[in-house]
Structure 1
Amino acid sequence: MAMRKYGFGQSNSDHTLFLKRRMGKLTALIICVDDMIVTDDDKEEISRLKDYLATEFEMKDLSGLKYFLGIEVARSKQGIFISQRKYVLDLLAETGMLDCKPADTPIVQNHHLAVHLDQVPTNRDCYQRLVGRLIYLSHTRPDIAYAISVVSQFMHSPSEAHMGAVERILRYLKSSPGRGIICSKNHHCRIEGYTDADWADNVTDRRSTSGYFTFVGGNLVTWRSKKQKMVALSSAEAEYRGMAKGVCELLWLRRLLGEIGYPSNSASDLFYDNKAAIDI
């Protein structure tokens, strides 16, 4: 209500995003619980907005964005780099794995993790807490998205084998705690997506896993790996469902960019490698 009262409109694509246009310039404010980020190409408007928010709420101005909810932001001539290095190191310290042997990959190939009747259980609260921490870390680490989507499937009944998979993710993080995402200026705003899927790879219920990642202006912006809700009867069906998710993400990005003043005038490319799904 306070933002609408000041002239901001709530985005239809992201309800945590509020936008205001004035004299051809845009002010954007995004909220996460009681933290917010404000960006603008009008310095006077930012100053007025901060004064207004100070009268409505108890707040503290932390000036230029450097650290936000565990995410570190660094700027250079190459662009803006976001990472969670401190978050990773704190997590390794809390789990006693700062001195562990690093792993080359976040998960074993052909892992075949599942729920078995004779499995040895592990501490469920500890498992759920660790996986929850890793899920938040995936905001800046697309390289662990698939591994996290696998271990998060066993939150209700984790075993020692599942905990071993979580520990491998931690050992992989030890090898590259400062890895993150860089956003650079590439003089275009093309929207592109890549999707893929396996078929019936889950040992327990034979459901497939699909994933996508998208680029805007040559920069990686969104990614996801998730088990499909239904059993696919063929590889073409599993791959086609993966493509559908990728298309939905591209359409959402097009709407969002249009709202902030960067409408896409050209088609968005979706890249895939399954001929049957492409033909469909």
Structure 2
Amino acid sequence: MLLTVYVDDLLLMGTSQRCEAVAAQLATSFELVALGPVKYLLGVEVVVDRELSTVFFSQAAYIEELLRRFHMKDCRGVSTPEGGTSEIEQERVDATQIDTLPYREIIGAMQYLVSDSRPDIAHVVRRLGQYMSNYGADHFAQAKRVLRYLKTTKDFGLKMNVTGSAEVELLRLEAYSDADYANDQQDRQSISGYVTMLNGSVVSYGSRKQGLNAQSTMEAEYVAMNEGARDVMWLRGLCDELMWKYAVPTLWCDNTAAISLFKRPGKHNGSKHIENRYHYVRNLGERELIAVRHCRTDQMAADIFTKPLARIKFAQFREMLGVCRRDQQGGAVEAEDDRAASVCMVVMFAAK
């Protein structure tokens, strides 16, 4: 039984009998209105398919509103949110031009999509967010391209596969981390990307610029490993709180040099300058709290968070994240634990 609270909205998850019993008990202490099985929560459509054992999160209505609001409803769609390069020139614009371009409004509105159901646009929204006070026509054109992509994929959402097998006793916690070395053309800083999964379904993800100038690809990948390790440790703590049993979390990396640095500590010419805080991942490995393994680049799900990708590769990684239409199969790996599928009924309440 799980109960989550956001301001005056309560989400109750569990079997039908337990949901009804807890709802009745809460009603004796609080003025509540039962809204029935959840359909929308904080602007996100939630579709629970018991036959397929999936939960689908979509913001199609919100995307429609964005297209109407920014006069892009009749635009021509595109298959990727970014072009073939990540370089956008910085521009100094006067206040008059800033007032005429709704750039900040577009980026702010798209950040809501990134946080809830659309990890596939996380990289481009992060990149465009760097220019909130220093943008011009090129930046605005790129922001409109993202809207064109959203028009093409407005029916897409984040699908979580919660099917299970009674024979498997441990949940599978995984994180993928990746980096694009010296990505930014202005400051030459690298980009970290990571995604954390529970039994093959995406739980959290991120795309961010590293706070240092990495001296090599190995260092950039090692820093990204640290980001992924922190996130999977958060998921591990959440599972501990819920008393779910799990195997040792796995952190996947596609850079053999970074993995070697993780496994063989010591002072090396190429790594002795790395700050101590980035060795957090190594400490976790020594305590056997996580395991780091090598992943082929074409299976690195976090690649989509670090740089623009060509159409075919972008679609491949998008599918691995479980971003698809409701009737499509999405996700990298099927789940393997019945407890992940224990949500049989979802009921939402709103305080009077």
The two structures have a TM-score, normalised by structure 1, of 0.83
CA–CA distance in 2 between the matches of 1:154 and 1:253? Answer: 32
CA–CA distance in 2 between the matches of 1:256 and 1:197? Answer: 26
- List 4+ stretches of structure 1 deviating above 3 A: 116-125
Corresponding residue for 1:231? 213
Query: 5 Å matches for 1:256-271?
Result: 256-264=238-246, 266-271=247-252
CA–CA distance in 2 between the matches of 1:236 and 1:213? Answer: 19
Find the partner of 1:91 among 52, 63, 66.
66
Corresponding residue for 1:220? 202
Corresponding residue for 1:277? 258
Amino acid at match of 2:14: D
The answer to whether the 8 A contact 2:92-2:135 is kept is: no
Amino acid at match of 1:95: F
Pair 1:275–1:124, CA change in 2 (3 A): farther
Amino acid at match of 2:149: Y
Pair 1:257–1:200, CA change in 2 (3 A): same
CA–CA distance in 2 between the matches of 1:199 and 1:65? Answer: 43
CA–CA distance in 2 between the matches of 1:91 and 1:124? Answer: 18
CA–CA distance in 2 between the matches of 1:114 and 1:243? Answer: 29
Find the partner of 2:122 among 122, 145, 149.
145
Consecutive unaligned residues in structure 1, runs of 5 or more = 1-25
SS of the counterpart of 1:52? coil
Corresponding residue for 2:347? none
**What's the CA shift string for 1:113-162, capped at 9, x where partnerless?**
24245899544882222111100001201111111111111112221111
SS of the counterpart of 1:49? helix
The answer to whether the 8 A contact 2:179-2:221 is kept is: yes
**Are 1:30 and 2:4 counterparts?**
yes
**What's the CA shift string for 1:155-181, capped at 9, x where partnerless?**
122211111111010000010101111
Size of the aligned set, in residue pairs, is: 249
Find the partner of 1:72 among 45, 57, 66.
45
Pair 1:48–1:241, CA change in 2 (3 A): same
**What's the CA shift string for 1:5-59, capped at 9, x where partnerless?**
xxxxxxxxxxxxxxxxxxxxx3x332333333222342312321244231xxxx5
CA–CA distance in 1 between the matches of 2:71 and 2:133? Answer: 24
Corresponding residue for 1:109? 84
Pair 1:231–1:91, CA change in 2 (3 A): same
**Are 1:63 and 2:36 counterparts?**
yes
The answer to whether the 8 A contact 1:121-1:158 is kept is: no
Amino acid at match of 2:174: E
Find the partner of 1:136 among 90, 112, 115.
112
Corresponding residue for 1:19? none
**Are 1:40 and 2:14 counterparts?**
yes
CA shift, 1:263, in A, is: 3.1
Corresponding residue for 2:131? 154
Find the partner of 1:211 among 179, 189, 193.
193
The answer to whether the 8 A contact 2:177-2:252 is kept is: yes
Amino acid at match of 2:162: K
CA–CA distance in 1 between the matches of 2:97 and 2:192? Answer: 28
Corresponding residue for 1:193? 175
Pair 1:222–1:105, CA change in 2 (3 A): same
SS of the counterpart of 1:63? strand
RMSD of Structure 2 on Structure 1 (CA):
2.0
The answer to whether the 8 A contact 2:122-2:207 is kept is: yes
